[in-house]
């Protein structure tokens, strides 16, 4: 079953408000086995509303509309649906009683203009609204089901779950359940992975595999359909296994597990602790780790050593090292990593220093040059990253933070496999 989601309101097309209803509806519809192919957002204009509904009718079997059911002159969904279906608007008695009762419960007289909310296109069924005034509308036209819901997210969600889902299930129009399984990788570019996965991402493959990039994390997304969600999940398994075999060393985790969550898991698994010394990332690693409740078991804290004097005073960086090599150097990265490990008494110390830009780059030390240091009980190592002189400051900072966390994760992980430095303190 192919669907279109329509959001109505000039505050959306003008960009004054962000439409989040369409995303929510698409997720829920996907779980029900409905294939959402289009979102349309349009301003409060009757003629354009009617045109958009007609286009939707021609390309979808289910159309969910949110917004435009209020009592004001801007609220045109009722009229647009009636015009599209070529039927008159008629007053629905049950909806009028419900409206009147809504105001009575609040000891208020119903304003006369709210009466229009009881109007329905002839042949439509009202969808009761438990939490607001506007009833929803269920209308079939030329083989397509239209469901109009309120624009207020809370009312929309309640009506969707309580009124629309049972009705859709009753029509036996719902298709097989669709499951998305997302496997996250880090450490190479999207096209590097894609080049080694052309057989998986080929059009028409079953199950379908897509590849997306977000903040340098690359995700394979396996989409499978089956009668129930367990069977759909099972159908993703052979493809997931192929991805694990081929890209195992780069895989961070599945679903919401990105580099941060994966590092926390590794630290917990090893009962290891981490401290950080952040110069160019300025607290970003610490902030992302502490987004997670309970991280205090494995994350002891950090020093944001933005000023050079702080690297000396708080992390024991020898001034001579700073003078000889400069703040952005492998020597300083190693020294502050060791300093963080030592001052916090942690199993692992991470140090990050670099040129985040946009200014401060030189030919020898361009914007995007970042040194990472990692201190373990076996000593301290460094890595050099070139994150791109044409990248923005937020991108360079974010990637430096992710690379640092991923390095610590990989080192902990290789410990399990018995090669690589031991990390127990």
Output 37 or 241, the one with its CB closest to a copy of itself: 37
Output 183 or 275, the one with its CB closest to a copy of itself: 275
At 31 the three-state DSSP class reads helix
Short-list 416, 346, 417, 419, CA closest to 380: 346
Backbone Cα Rg of the chain: 28
Relative to beta strand 251-254, strand 274-278 is unpaired
Q: How far is the CB of 123 from a copy of itself (least distance, A)?
A: 27
Output 30 or 175, the one with its CB closest to a copy of itself: 30
Which residues does residue 277 pair with via DSSP β-bridges, in sequence order? 303, 351
Output 85 or 276, the one with its CB closest to a copy of itself: 276
Give the tokens for residue 1.
């079953």
Q: How far apart are CA 3 and CA 176, in angstroms?
A: 14
Q: How far apart are CA 413 and CA 12, in angstroms?
A: 46
Output 145 or 276, the one with its CB closest to a copy of itself: 276
Q: How far is the CB of 190 from a copy of itself (least distance, A)?
A: 7
Output 33 or 124, the one with its CB closest to a copy of itself: 33
Q: How far is the CB of 241 from a copy of itself (least distance, A)?
A: 22
Output 301 or 421, the one with its CB closest to a copy of itself: 301
How many residues are listed for the chain in this entry?
Answer: 425
Q: How far is the CB of 258 from a copy of itself (least distance, A)?
A: 14
Q: How far apart are CA 1 and CA 169, in angstroms?
A: 12
Q: How far is the CB of 20 from a copy of itself (least distance, A)?
A: 7
Q: How far apart are CA 271 and CA 21, in angstroms?
A: 42
Q: How far is the CB of 309 from a copy of itself (least distance, A)?
A: 7
The DSSP result for 372-414, as a single string, is EEEEETTEEEEEEEE--TTS-HHHHHHHHHHHHHHHHHHHHHH
Which residue shows structure tokens 């086995």? 33
Contact of 406 with 286, CB cutoff 8 Å: no
Output 275 or 411, the one with its CB closest to a copy of itself: 275
Q: How far is the CB of 228 from a copy of itself (least distance, A)?
A: 19
Q: How far is the CB of 419 from a copy of itself (least distance, A)?
A: 28
Give the tokens for residue 214.
């977000």
Relative to beta strand 274-278, strand 299-304 is parallel
What Cα–Cα distance (Å) separates residue 286 from each residue in 119, 271, 422, 423? 56, 18, 24, 20
Across 340-350, b (16+ Cβ under 10 Å) vs e yields bbebbebbbbb
Q: How far is the CB of 106 from a copy of itself (least distance, A)?
A: 6
Largest CA distance in the chain: 86
Q: How far is the CB of 417 from a copy of itself (least distance, A)?
A: 29
Output 25 or 81, the one with its CB closest to a copy of itself: 25
Output 309 or 362, the one with its CB closest to a copy of itself: 309
What Cα–Cα distance (Å) separates residue 262 from each residue in 253, 265, 291, 298? 7, 5, 14, 13
């Amino acid at each position: 079953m192919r669907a279109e989601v329509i959001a109505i309101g000039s505050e959306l097309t003008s960009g004054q408000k962000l439409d989040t209803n369409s995303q929510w509806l698409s997720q829920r519809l996907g779980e029900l086995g409905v294939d959402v192919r289009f979102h349309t957002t349009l301003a409060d204009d009757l003629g354009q509303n009617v045109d958009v509904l007609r286009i939707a009718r021609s390309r979808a079997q289910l159309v969910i509309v949110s917004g435009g059911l209020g009592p004001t002159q801007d609220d045109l969904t009722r009229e647009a649906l009636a015009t599209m279906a070529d039927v008159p608007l008629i007053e629905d008695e049950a909806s009028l009683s419900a409206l009147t009762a809504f105001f009575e419960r609040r000891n208020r007289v119903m304003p006369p203009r709210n009466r229009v909310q009881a109007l329905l296109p002839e042949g439509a069924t009202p969808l009761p609204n438990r939490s607001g005034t506007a009833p929803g509308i269920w209308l079939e036209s030329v083989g397509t089901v239209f469901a109009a819901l309120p624009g207020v997210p809370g009312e929309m969600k309640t009506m969707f779950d309580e009124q629309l889902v049972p009705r859709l299930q009753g029509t036996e129009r719902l298709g097989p359940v669709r499951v998305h399984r997302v496997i996250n990788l880090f450490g190479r570019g999207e096209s590097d992975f894609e080049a080694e996965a052309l057989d998986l991402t080929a059009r028409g493959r079953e199950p379908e595999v897509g590849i997306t990039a977000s903040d340098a994390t690359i995700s394979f997304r396996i989409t499978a359909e089956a009668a129930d969600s367990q069977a759909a999940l099972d159908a993703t398994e052979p493809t997931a296994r192929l991805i694990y075999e081929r890209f195992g060393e780069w895989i961070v985790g599945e679903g919401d597990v990105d580099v941060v969550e994966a590092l926390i898991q590794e630290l917990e698994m090893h009962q290891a602790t981490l401290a950080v010394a952040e110069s160019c990332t300025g607290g970003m690693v610490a902030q992302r780790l502490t987004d997670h409740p309970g991280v205090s078991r494995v994350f002891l804290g950090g020093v944001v050593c933005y000023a050079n004097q702080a690297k000396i005073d708080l992390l024991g960086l020898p001034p001579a090292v700073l003078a000889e090599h400069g703040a952005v150097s492998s020597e300083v990265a190693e020294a502050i990593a060791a300093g963080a490990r030592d001052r916090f008494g942690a199993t692992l110390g991470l140090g990050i220093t670099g040129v985040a830009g946009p200014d401060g780059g030189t030919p020898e030390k361009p914007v995007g040059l970042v040194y990472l240091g990692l201190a373990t009980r076996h000593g301290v190592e460094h890595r050099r990253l070139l994150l791109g002189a044409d990248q923005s400051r937020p991108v360079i900072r974010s990637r430096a933070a992710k690379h640092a966390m991923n390095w610590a994760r990989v080192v902990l992980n290789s410990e399990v496999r018995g090669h690589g430095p031991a990390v127990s303190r």
